[in-house]
Structure 1
């Protein structure tokens, strides 16, 4: 079937519950598929090999600094957001963030996550009911990122969630947003920047043992982050970090609950948790796609792209590509176990923009999933009706009530 006979409808609201058949239709039709994204003519990259080539290729980036991107800059109002940057500026940010966000710091967060999860599950057991999103994933993400990492006031948790959701929703194409969505996006970004500016001022005067204080003080060869840059990184951690970990737990637990034989296997063999998390990220990723721009004339999948050409990299489609992942639409927690694990999924992207918060998201999800399976032996979905948030880039359910 030719591309002219296929309509890409995965971004339609009617497909929100399950966009994967729509991804399959375009993936089977072509690796590179013409599409109008936010009213801009671009190319959808649908298959694994081509998506990987774009994500890791030196000829691909964001192009905002060079003024060649055809896409709206969703982070234009947020200074210092290095997800939109290309080398060498991106390398500078990454190096300074790595100076503060060390493997040791991340490792020290594992027992903290375990303690938070145990307290949340204890409260759920006493109530006899649990919404995995509202009662576990969200408060865990708030406790770990704005409170523990950034040293913010725990009492502001509801505000963080409100801001984070508004900015995450606002990262979708403007043509798919209502006026209220765009207004909320701008208001949330301004409120966040004001909040973190005040918090950074306090950290400068009285540092505390958290990432934000480390970012304020981070220095590499005499180079330090400016205040606006620290604000941008804080917003990135708040929005992308919270959304990724919340939706990894929600989507992952939903996959387990809909595949009870896999849930039983993980309960019997908790050592499979690492493989299970990778399969959750492959099977139903928290982030469904990303965008890139050709920084120079280049070739991908046998097609020539000119400098300034835009592509939408459908990472969620690539991770279901049967050419790479046999029986790709099946959820199999052993896929990444053993001596010959599957190819790397694209759930955290690849290349220089690989998710800096991936280790923390995995720590949170591991604690949440294993504790639930251990403490709730009769865990079941309380309803077969599952609703998804309207966001396209960020995929997650609105609620996930379970019986225990």
Structure 2
């Protein structure tokens, strides 16, 4: 029996498809770190679980995305004819330099720190409006009634999506992240994804034309107008990256708000501490990101032969899955109770927003949204209680982790 593929009695060392893993992946991560920290899975992907190796892979230029070739190896050479895959290949998330450099230089101009910081009053308004709508009920679902509404509204505001058009985006966005999952798409899922992409392309083409004629104070206008050394985003690149900003701008933040609230209510001492000391919120957010990140995995490909990654040779072209959730609890970096929530923890350096050239553009926005959402909720509903903190229903996604619903009362 190959010790790097199986343990003696418990089956595959890394089985992220199991219900047990989805419920609580962290014991599985600990076993990987201790047993085989650079693990070759039965499906041919290297899984990296320690902080040192994950951090290296995220930042080392010998690793890249190589999305097109990786997709062809997985699905066949014809896969890039599918709209869903062709669209994803145009995004900053899945490109390597020099294309990534050009795209990011254009997109980052429309996503400045000042612009995001200026969103604070609007974020506070949206949070207060969400609470105003439900405060007299005495009950709500913290995901659907609270966590969901804030980031969706804010990213629609930032992109300049008219109010009357938003419902379509709200109801269709949840399954758009399946292409990022480690489980291959079925032909039917690919077909559905193609249809969504084609509809979005039609819609955004009209929006781009409108913003060229009538510029507004929004990201879409800035991206339409953005130039770098005389280059502009093509219509394909515009559509792909606007869609990416929309999905990334709310999916991960919904999960982060839900994960943070659940973690606090599972740790009443930390909840009481934050209620008594709201100024701890910035450090608390770092700890939430470390303790229960909304993005659990991110992938890279070896762009050349790697002689030594945690004692393993990684051949050129092989896929490497970085377990961010595992790296964030590595006792080599966090020796003081890494599996415990501690909002006063010092020197927190979570890898939850990635690293290197693919560090998340929306990190600052997510932090501000979570900060305002949680502090406002604790201030306005101090008696809030989550119905079942021990057995929440988790979303079935593997890459993006968050509760599907969190019924609560006050």
Q: TM-score, normalised by structure 1?
A: 0.92
- Name the counterpart of 2:92: 82
- Whether the 8 Å CA contact 2:68–2:89 is kept in 1: the answer is no
Name which of 116, 136, 139 aligns with 1:129. 139
2:345 is aligned to: 335
* CA displacement at 1:185 relative to structure 2: 2.8
Compute the displacement of 1:367 (Å): 1.0
- Say if 1:328 and 1:75 are closer, same or farther in 2 by CA, change over 3 A: farther
Q: What does 1:90-105 correspond to in 2, within 5 Å?
A: 90-105=100-115
| 1:194 aligned residue (196, 202, 215) | 202
Q: Secondary structure at the match of 1:304?
A: strand
Aligned residue pairs: how many? 394
**Contact 2:270–2:343 under 8 Å retained in 1:** yes
- Displacement after TM superposition at 1:59 (Å): 0.3
Q: 1:251 matched to which residue of 2?
A: 259
Counterpart in the other structure of 2:127: 117
Provide runs of 4+ in structure 1 moved above 6 Å: 66-69
Distance in 2 separating the partners of 1:149 and 1:64? 28
Structure 1: runs of 5 or more not aligned? none
CA contact (8 A) 1:69 1:308 kept: no
1:288-303 maps to which residues of 2 (within 5 A)? Answer: 288-298=296-306, 299-303=308-312
Q: Summarize deviations over 1:360-402 as a string: whole Å, max 9, x none.
A: 1111111110000100110111234411111111111111121
- Where does residue 381 of structure 1 map in the other structure? 386
**DSSP 3-state at the match of 2:40:** strand
Matched, 1:53 2:56: yes
Residue 390 of structure 1 corresponds to which residue in structure 2?
Answer: 396
Shift of 1:64: 3.5
Structure 1 residue 102 displacement after superposition: 1.1
**SS of 1:130 mapped into structure 2:** strand
CA RMSD of aligned residues (A): 2.1
Measure the CA separation in 2 of the matches of 1:19 and 1:155: 40
* Secondary structure of the corresponding residue to residue 333 of structure 1: coil
Per-residue deviation, residues 10-62 of structure 1 (Å, max 9, x unmatched): 3323421211111211121021001144xxx1211111100001000010001
Q: Does structure 2 retain, via aligned residues, the 8 Å contact 1:166–1:184?
A: no
| Aligned counterpart for 1:280 among listed residues 288, 292, 312 | 288
**Structure-1 residue corresponding to 2:327:** 318
Listed as ranges, the gaps of 5+ residues in structure 2 are none
TM-score with structure 2 length normalisation? 0.90
User: What secondary structure is seen at the aligned counterpart in 1 of 2:96?
Assistant: coil
Return closer, same or farther for 1:319/1:265 CA change in 2, 3 Å cut-off.
same
Relative to structure 1, is the Cα distance of residues 241 and 75 closer, same or farther in structure 2, using a 3 angstrom cutoff?
farther
Contact 1:69 1:310 in 2 (8 A): no
